[in-house]
């Protein structure tokens, strides 16, 4: 009989400590500067690439962990350092997840190396799914893809919104509707290679948080890509469309809802781990501040109001981590999210990050409201985790549908 254990392996502990060291020594010292500059921290990306933290080999080795925990461990530590820089480093992984989730082995080998570049010239990649009128409502996507049989090319037209690395990426992975009448089941994902004419990025958006990470709209005007850029290939697409036309339920891998939903399913536990990193940073800082800050002749941590708040912060972080780890293990071992476990993990972790960082600001009082202390930045960074890659409301909808079996709207 196998023994149940939550102990990390030696390899997992080494990975966690290695990433934590980079976060503490390289990321944190640079965080305030790049947050204020609101620019992509290319020098930090270069440092990450130099040590092997940024690149496909790192992602592949992390994904090879049969427990599914390695990528979550690394993400929590990196985002403990800083979320904006962390997303600049990890943002490319979303495009890679799309290629992995929907593409063939040949496409993985062809396009993924171009997503990262090399140590001499670091590159980034972008996953472009959200649109001005199609965020949570994936079926409302207006970007279109039509096939030109004469040239064996796909022609893309449309606009994407809020794309991480949009416009500055070497490789863009774009979701588009092939048969609009089929809604979300008529969509597919395409790789847009570097330098393809017709793709343009808008101005970098100025954001509440994650300011070091580049976010922009992406415009596609008669963008022509070779037929091989359709992730999964034409044969698989035609089979899936035929099932959709016949009213049959697509298989798990083919549906990937749809390309966008397959990507989000793969990444939700990792996104939850990112939120945990922010929450843990705020909790640890508030705890140390409360131990050192004296009022009425004693440390404020001696007051139940403060101590109980810190106890709740720690409890919620640990509870969220267990949900994240469970979902990561299930996803890695192909266990179905029968109760929406992937959505649960992201939902809980995102809301915990907002709650914990808010309490950290409160514990610091006036000091928490100024930039002399990092908790205000963590507070700003946390909010997006209840919004992007599926809002909290959408995550609840996924869980509710899963547990009820009803078409809840």
256 phi-psi bin (left φ>0, alpha ψ -120 to 50, beta other): left
Q: Report the 10 Å Cβ neighbour count for 362.
A: 16
Decide if 389 is catalytic: yes
**Cα(117)–Cα(128) distance, integer angstroms:** 19
Q: Give the phi and the psi of residue 123 in degrees, each rounded to 5.
A: -120, 165
- The distance between the two most distant Cα atoms of the chain, rounded to a whole number of Å, is 82
Query: Is residue 398 exposed (0-12), middle (13-18) or buried (19+ Cβ within 10 Å)?
Result: buried
- Tell the residue number behind the tokens 């990470």, with chain if given: 213
Catalytic residue among 133, 179, 389, 393: 389
126, β-bridge pairs? 172
Distances (CA, A) of 65 to 12, 190, 329: 9, 28, 10
End-to-end CA distance of the chain: 44
- Tell the residue number behind the tokens 């079926």, with chain if given: 139
DSSP type of residue 185: G
For residue 122 the two structure tokens come to 């670091």
DSSP type of residue 354: H
Distances (CA, A) of 361 to 111, 224, 378: 43, 49, 9
**Cα(124)–Cα(306) distance, integer angstroms:** 42
For residue 301 the two structure tokens come to 């941590």
Q: Report yes or no: 141 and 197 within 8 Å, Cβ to Cβ.
A: no
**Cα(389)–Cα(263) distance, integer angstroms:** 10
**Which residues are known to be catalytic?**
389
């Amino acid at each position: 009989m196998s023994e149940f254990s939550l102990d990390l392996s030696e390899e997992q502990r080494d990975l966690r400590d290695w990433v934590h060291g980079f976060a503490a020594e390289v990321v944190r010292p640079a965080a305030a500067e790049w947050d204020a500059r609101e620019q992509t921290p290319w020098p930090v990306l270069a440092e990450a690439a130099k040590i092997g933290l940024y690149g496909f080999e790192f992602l592949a080795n992390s994904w090879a962990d049969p427990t599914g925990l390695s990528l979550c461990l690394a993400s929590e530590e990196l985002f403990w350092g800083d979320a904006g820089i962390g997303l600049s480093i990890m943002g490319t992984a979303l495009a890679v997840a799309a290629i992995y989730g929907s593409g063939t082995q040949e496409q993985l080998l062809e396009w993924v190396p171009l997503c990262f570049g090399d140590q001499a010239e670091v590159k980034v990649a972008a996953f472009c799914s959200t649109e001005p009128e199609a965020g949570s409502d994936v079926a409302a996507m207006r970007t279109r893809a039509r096939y030109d049989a004469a040239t064996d090319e796909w022609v893309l037209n449309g606009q994407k919104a809020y794309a991480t690395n949009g416009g500055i990426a070497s490789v863009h992975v774009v979701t588009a509707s092939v048969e609009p009448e089929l809604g979300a089941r008529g969509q597919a994902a395409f790789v847009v290679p570097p330098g393809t004419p017709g793709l343009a990025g808008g101005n970098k958006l100025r954001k509440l948080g994650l300011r070091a990470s580049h976010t922009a709209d992406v415009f596609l005007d008669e963008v022509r890509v070779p037929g091989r850029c359709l992730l999964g290939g034409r044969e698989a697409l035609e089979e899936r469309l035929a099932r959709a036309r016949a009213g049959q339920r697509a298989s798990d891998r083919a549906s990937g809802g749809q390309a966008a939903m397959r990507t989000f399913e793969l990444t939700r536990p990792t996104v939850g781990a990112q939120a945990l990193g922010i929450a843990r940073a705020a909790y640890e800082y508030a705890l140390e501040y409360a131990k050192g800050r004296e009022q009425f002749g004693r440390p404020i941590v001696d007051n139940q109001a403060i101590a109980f708040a810190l106890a709740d912060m720690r409890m919620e972080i640990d509870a969220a981590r267990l949900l994240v780890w469970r979902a990561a293990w299930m996803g890695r071992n192909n266990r179905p999210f029968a109760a929406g476990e992937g959505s649960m993990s992201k939902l809980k972790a995102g809301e915990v990050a907002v709650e914990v960082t808010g309490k950290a600001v409160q514990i610091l009082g006036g000091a928490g409201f100024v930039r002399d202390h990092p908790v205000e930045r963590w507070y700003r960074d946390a909010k997006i985790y209840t919004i992007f890659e599926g809002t909290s409301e959408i995550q609840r909808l996924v869980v509710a549908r899963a547990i009820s079996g009803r078409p809840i709207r």
